[in-house]
Amino acid sequence: MTPVQIQSVENPLTRAAIFIVVTVKPDAASLETVRGLFGNMGSLLRGVGFRNPDDSLTCVTGIGSDLWDRLGQPQRPAGLHPFRAIHGVHDAPSTPGDILFHIRAQGRDFCFELATQIMRQLGDAVEVQDETQGFKFFDNRDLLGFVDGTENPQGIALGASVLIGDEDPAFRGGSYVITQKYIHDLTKWDALTVEDQERVIGRHKLSDIEYPDSEKAPYAHNVLTSINDAEGNQLQILRDNMPFGRPAAAEFGTYFIGYACEPARTERMLDNMFIGDPPGNYDRILDVSTPVTGSLFFVPSMTLLEALADPPEPAPAGTADDTADDHAQADDTAAPADGSLRIGSLKQET
């Protein structure tokens, strides 16, 4: 089997990020332009990033359900579907998105330059649905003032939580990502006492120490987003949320971005937050935070992303599965004991 190179899904948080979501125009030439970019992403990343490797420039490219269909691949990732809107105590909209670019670096200049190069190559083949420039706010706090990202999986749990494995062998080394852009009503939030805010999150604000389970409110964010499988094992996702905003326009937000080996676990957390668990016991973050976007993407391995540059060969009848295997077989994507995912035949794009 051919070794597979994964995208930089599990890289640590950086000081800056740009999130761009585009849709691809319906004509064939636009699709060709997009294929060209997929084939060139590795080269673009090297060209911009090598100028200072210490800036840790990375870009994760995700593909939406409709675009996947247009790419004409013989197989489809098992969990890929359009983001499902939720109508609960609060609503989560589903908004268009064919491609997500999640660009991260220590410096805004590196994010900005890569985004510029990507958009220049795409030209008028796409329509921009959203561009959000995120920044690190003090000690990894969101604009509600709480440290965000503390309970992300680490070590061996990280790869197991975010990377597709043997359950979908043609797409091993890939991932799924859900994004939502939230706008906060900080006037309403700041009117709460710190103790009430802490009950909403389930952690102490200044120290970031978690409340003991016995003292957590049933609606606490970390109660509703802690989920288990039938055997009682915790199902985790990797969050790379970033604050964004324009103070002069009174815009303050959190860009939620959650990676997982299957979208179902993130969707269950969303149901718990918006509908409630049990229904009605919803997440009070949503009383002051409104999602204005919602999209779901499949993140192919870097190897598969580059292979998507070429339209699939028309396969003789009965051999479709073999063709997919040529594109995407990984020999081993299980996380190594140190959780680094950088040893053996797995290679990570940087």
In the complex, least distance from residue 321 CB atom to ligand HEM, rounded to whole angstroms: 33
Q: Residue 251, SS3?
A: strand
| CA 146/CA 207 separation, integer angstroms | 9
Q: Is 55 in the site for ligand HEM (CB under 6 A)?
A: no
Q: Is 222 in the site for ligand HEM (CB under 6 A)?
A: yes
Helices in the chain by DSSP H: which ranges? 28-49, 65-70, 108-122, 156-162, 186-190, 194-201, 221-224, 263-274, 302-307, 320-328
Q: Residue 324, SS3?
A: helix
Q: Is 254 in the site for ligand HEM (CB under 6 A)?
A: yes
Among the listed residues 199, 203, 216, 284, the single contact to ligand HEM using CB under 6 A? 203
| CA 260/CA 143 separation, integer angstroms | 24
Q: Is 176 in the site for ligand HEM (CB under 6 A)?
A: no
Q: Is 146 in the site for ligand HEM (CB under 6 A)?
A: yes
Pick the closer one to ligand HEM by CB: 173 or 291: 291
Pick the closer one to ligand HEM by CB: 37 or 220: 220
Q: Is 151 in the site for ligand HEM (CB under 6 A)?
A: yes
Among the listed residues 226, 340, 348, 350, the single contact to ligand HEM using CB under 6 A? 226
Q: Is 256 in the site for ligand HEM (CB under 6 A)?
A: yes
In the complex, least distance from residue 46 CB atom to ligand HEM, rounded to whole angstroms: 32
Among the listed residues 10, 55, 130, 142, the single contact to ligand HEM using CB under 6 A? 142
Q: Measured at the alpha carbon of residue 55, what is the angle toward residues 205 and 256, in degrees to the nearest 5?
A: 40
- Residue span binding ligand HEM (CB under 6 A) among the ranges 119-127, 148-156, 160-168, 311-319: 148-156
Secondary structure (DSSP) of 74-143? SS--TT--PPPPEESSSEE-----SEEEEEEESSHHHHHHHHHHHHHHHGGGEEEEEEEEEE--TTTB-T
In the complex, least distance from residue 296 CB atom to ligand HEM, rounded to whole angstroms: 11
Token pair for 182: 């939230």
Q: Is 225 in the site for ligand HEM (CB under 6 A)?
A: yes
Among the listed residues 101, 182, 252, 298, the single contact to ligand HEM using CB under 6 A? 182
Pick the closer one to ligand HEM by CB: 151 or 325: 151
Which DSSP symbol is given to 167?
T
Judge contact between 199 and 210, C-beta under 8 A: no
In the complex, least distance from residue 338 CB atom to ligand HEM, rounded to whole angstroms: 22
Q: Which residues contact 231 (CB under 8 A, 6 or more apart)?
A: none
Residue 207 phi/psi, 5-degree rounding, is -85, -20
Q: Is 102 in the site for ligand HEM (CB under 6 A)?
A: no
Binding site for ligand HEM (CB under 6 A): 142, 144, 146-151, 180, 182, 201, 203, 221-222, 225-226, 237, 239, 254, 256, 258, 266, 269-270, 285, 289
